[in-house]
Structure 1
Amino acid sequence: MSERADQIIAALRSGHDHLASLARGLGAADLTRRSGAAEWDVSQVLSHLGSGAEISLAALEGALDGTGTKGMDFNKSVWARWDAMSPGERAESFVPASEALVTRYESLDARTREDLRIDLGFLPMPVDVATAARMRLSEFTFHTWDIEVAFDPAAVLAPAATGPLFDQVAMLIGRVGRADAVEGPPVRLAVRTTAPERSFGLDLGDVVDLGDEPAEPDAVLSTPAEWWLRLATGRHAAAYTPASVTLTGGALTLNDLRRVFPGF
Structure 2
Amino acid sequence: MTEQADRIIDALRSGHDYLTSVVRGIAAADLGRPSGATEWDVSQVLSHLGSGAEIGLATLEGALNGTGPQGGDFNKSVWARWDAMSRAERAEGFVTANETLVRRYEGLDPRTREELRIDLGFLPVPVDLATAAGLRLSEFAHHSWDVEVAFDHTASLAPAATELLLDQVGLLIGFLGKADALDGRRADLAVRTTAPVRAFGLALGDTVTLTDQPAQPDAVLTAPAEWWLRLTTGRHAPAYTPSTVTLTGDSLTLDDLRRVFPGF
User: For the superposition of Structure 1 and Structure 2, which TM-score range results when normalised by the shorter chain?
Assistant: over 0.9
CA positional deviation for 1:117: 1.2
Taking structure 1 as reference, are residues 178 and 71 closer, same or farther at Cα in structure 2, changes over 3 Å only? closer
User: Counterpart of 1:96?
Assistant: 96
Q: Does 1:115 align with 2:115?
A: yes
User: Percent of aligned positions with the same letter in both sequences?
Assistant: 73
Distance 2:122 2:192 in 1: 34
User: Counterpart of 1:199?
Assistant: 199
User: Counterpart of 1:58?
Assistant: 58
Deviation string 1:127-154 (CA, Å, 9 cap, x unpaired) is: 2111111111111011001111111111
In the superposition, the TM-score normalised over structure 1's length comes to 0.96
> Map of 1:122-137 to 2, 5 A cutoff?
122-137=122-137
CA positional deviation for 1:183: 4.7
CA positional deviation for 1:168: 2.6
Q: 5+ unaligned residues in a row in structure 1: which ranges?
A: none
Distance 1:54 1:117 in 2: 19
Distance 1:209 1:120 in 2: 23
Q: Does 1:20 align with 2:20?
A: yes
The size of the alignment, in residue pairs, is 264
Q: Which runs of 4+ in 1 moved over 4 A?
A: none
Distance 2:253 2:159 in 1: 27
User: Counterpart of 1:217?
Assistant: 217
Which moves more between the two structures, 11-20 or 186-195?
186-195
Q: 5+ unaligned residues in a row in structure 2: which ranges?
A: none
User: Counterpart of 1:35?
Assistant: 35
- SS where residue 85 of structure 2 aligns? coil
CA positional deviation for 1:70: 2.1
Distance 2:21 2:146 in 1: 16
Distance 2:205 2:120 in 1: 34
Distance 2:146 2:246 in 1: 23
